[in-house]
Amino acid sequence: MSAVLSPASVSPSATVDADAAPQGLVIRPVAGSAGPLGAEVLGLDLSRPLGREDFARIHRAHLDHHVLVFRDQRITPQQHVDFSRRFGPLQIHVLKNFQLAGHPEILIVSNIKDAAGQPIGLGDAGHYWHSDLSYKDKPSLGSLLHAQELPGEGGDTLFADQHAAYDALPEALKERIAPLRAEHSYLAKYEELRARSPWRPKLTQAQIAEVAPSIHPVVRTHPETGRKALFVSEHFTTRIVGLPEDESQALLAELFAASVRPEFTYRHQWQPHDLVFWDNRSVTHLAAGTPDSERRKLYRTTIEGDLPF
């Protein structure tokens, strides 16, 4: 495993308040998780200045556990954006009509409609397993989702460890996919989702151009830890480059199934004011769904990552 980057080198924007006293945070694995996947961060208030020591512990825990759950974070949208930006530049989602007013970095994830019957956010986000913005040339490093209004039932989010999924593959399959590359497209299932939900608007030509497909390795190497992970998903991965269509689809189906085996997953049951920060280089995720009668609203930021290799 390669050396981990120091927190100061995560991004030029990743400044910390070096003089802030440690808050006494506690990091512990979540109950019911598979292996190292998922950890709670307790005793931390992100509305207060965050010192270098605490930031270093958070950064290390994020690499070790891939999904961090910051409990009871009563923070403003600007504090959400500021904390996210410490890990790198933020990416703006193509559905700009669902931006939070005054905070274009925040995508509203919600099934709520306004008084005129219009959706206030993207209500079917996460319907298929995926890694956020994998269709970009520089896919997301990570996403931070902050609970604003939670349903009385449903609304869970599932995460699948793609390092563990890769490690469990037969050696022959690892050798087969090692040199392969795959196409990722935001449009792969867009029209299918739009046809059955009121949330997704018809894309303009400018928006379509903004989400042109990208080609990435089927197996990517984490730029900070050096670990290998599967980097395909049923939502955005459309084909294996250079393979006949039938062979490509058969191989993708095999990899999709291998990537989300129950022993590699953690199911997050949201609590009020949870802020969940996951590593899109290490996990895929899925929204378990919310009954139509229940209201759900969360705010999401996404951090730009690196060119996968």
Query: Of 69, 73, 39, 49, nearest to 148 (Cα)?
Result: 73
What is the three-class DSSP state of 264? helix
At a CB cut-off of 8 Å and minimum separation 6, what does 118 contact?
none
Edge-to-edge strands, sheet with 99-100:
26-29, 39-42, 67-70, 275-279, 140-149, 297-304, 103-110, 99-100
For this structure, is 130 an active site residue? yes
For this structure, is 28 an active site residue? no
At a CB cut-off of 8 Å and minimum separation 6, what does 212 contact?
none
What is the three-class DSSP state of 265? strand
Q: Which of 132, 161, 274, 279 is catalytic?
A: 132
For this structure, is 267 an active site residue? no
Q: Which of 220, 281, 285, 296 is catalytic?
A: 285
Q: Which of 86, 130, 184, 268 is catalytic?
A: 130
DSSP 8: G
Query: Is 279 in contact with 95 (CB distance < 8 Å)?
Result: no
For this structure, is 156 an active site residue? no
Q: Which residues are catalytic?
A: 130, 132, 285, 300
